């Protein structure tokens, strides 16, 4: 069944990348005022407080969170902890544009992590799509001139962002493994709160 693209859907599809990029811009704006780990802690502490009234039940003894604590601790480490902390560390020396561009290598990273660690089958179309994404990143980094890529120098922030992207790839693949209690998995607020808690 073919569905039409509505204005609401288009706005929601636009909102996600804007928020993602906005996070990098804000992280760079405050990089001299707030240390990266502190900024990450403040961000997720605020999210914890907002989610608590919506999903506080997940913290109770018999919710399923504590019997699956290793799973949620790992998800929290990869997504909530490492990705955002490494991104804010990257923004200490790298620009929001570079951070976002390095983050755009995620499709290629997802394929590699999926194939090597999660036994995912990689199709030719997926490889072509990931290579096109990577080519787009290189085109922007080289400002349309491939010779400029030879003069490109990575800063420490770019390396941190690459590590953040690898962390997000592991996080995403881990999410695809349905090993969570059904009640927590069915409640988006509880699922996120369970990860933030660790």
Q: Could you please report the per-residue DSSP string of 55-83?
A: HGGGGSTTSSTGGGHHHHHHHIIIIIIII
Is 4 part of a structural domain of the chain?
no
Instruction: Give pLDDT, residue 174.
Output: 95
Is 139 part of a structural domain of the chain?
yes
Is 104 part of a structural domain of the chain?
yes
- Residue 104 to residue 156: CA distance in whole angstroms: 17
Domain containing 153: what range? 13-197
Is 175 part of a structural domain of the chain?
yes
Burial of 47 (0-12, 13-18, 19+ CB in 10 A): middle
- Residue 27 to residue 8: CA distance in whole angstroms: 28
Phi-psi region of 119 (alpha: psi -120 to 50; beta: other; left: phi over 0): left
Give me 182's structure tokens: 């059904």
Determine phi and psi for 148, rounding to 5 degrees: -65, -25
Is 172 part of a structural domain of the chain?
yes
Is 1 part of a structural domain of the chain?
no
Q: Is 2 helix (H, G, I), strand (E, B) or coil?
A: coil
Nearest to 90 by CA among 145, 160, 188, 163: 160
For the full predicted model, state whether its pTM sits above 0.75: yes
Give me 121's structure tokens: 């089958």
Instruction: Give pLDDT, residue 177.
Output: 86
Is 6 part of a structural domain of the chain?
no
Average pLDDT per 10 consecutive residues for the chain, totaling 198 residues? 82 87 90 95 96 97 94 95 95 89 88 94 91 81 74 84 95 91 94 95
Instruction: Give pLDDT, residue 78.
Output: 96
**Domain count for the chain:** 1
Is 7 part of a structural domain of the chain?
no
Is-contact 157 94, C-beta < 8 A?
Answer: yes
Instruction: Give pLDDT, residue 1.
Output: 60
């Amino acid at each position: 069944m073919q569905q039409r693209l509505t204005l609401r859907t288009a706005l929601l599809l636009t909102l996600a990348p804007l928020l993602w990029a906005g996070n990098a811009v804000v992280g760079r704006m405050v990089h001299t005022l707030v240390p990266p780990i502190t900024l990450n802690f403040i961000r997720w502490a605020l999210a914890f407080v907002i989610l608590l009234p919506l999903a506080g039940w997940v913290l109770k003894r018999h919710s399923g969170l504590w019997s699956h604590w290793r799973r949620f601790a790992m998800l929290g480490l990869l997504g909530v902890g490492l990705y955002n902390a490494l991104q804010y560390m990257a923004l200490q020396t790298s620009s929001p544009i570079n951070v976002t561009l390095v983050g755009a290598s995620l499709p290629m990273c997802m394929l590699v992590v999926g194939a090597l660690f999660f036994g995912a089958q990689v199709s030719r179309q997926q490889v072509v799509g990931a290579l096109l994404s990577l080519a787009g990143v290189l085109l922007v980094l080289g400002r349309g001139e491939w010779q400029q890529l030879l003069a490109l120098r990575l800063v420490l922030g770019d390396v941190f962002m690459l590590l953040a992207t690898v962390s997000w790839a592991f996080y995403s693949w881990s999410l695809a493994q349905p090993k969570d209690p059904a009640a927590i998995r069915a409640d988006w607020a509880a699922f996120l709160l369970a990860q933030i808690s660790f």
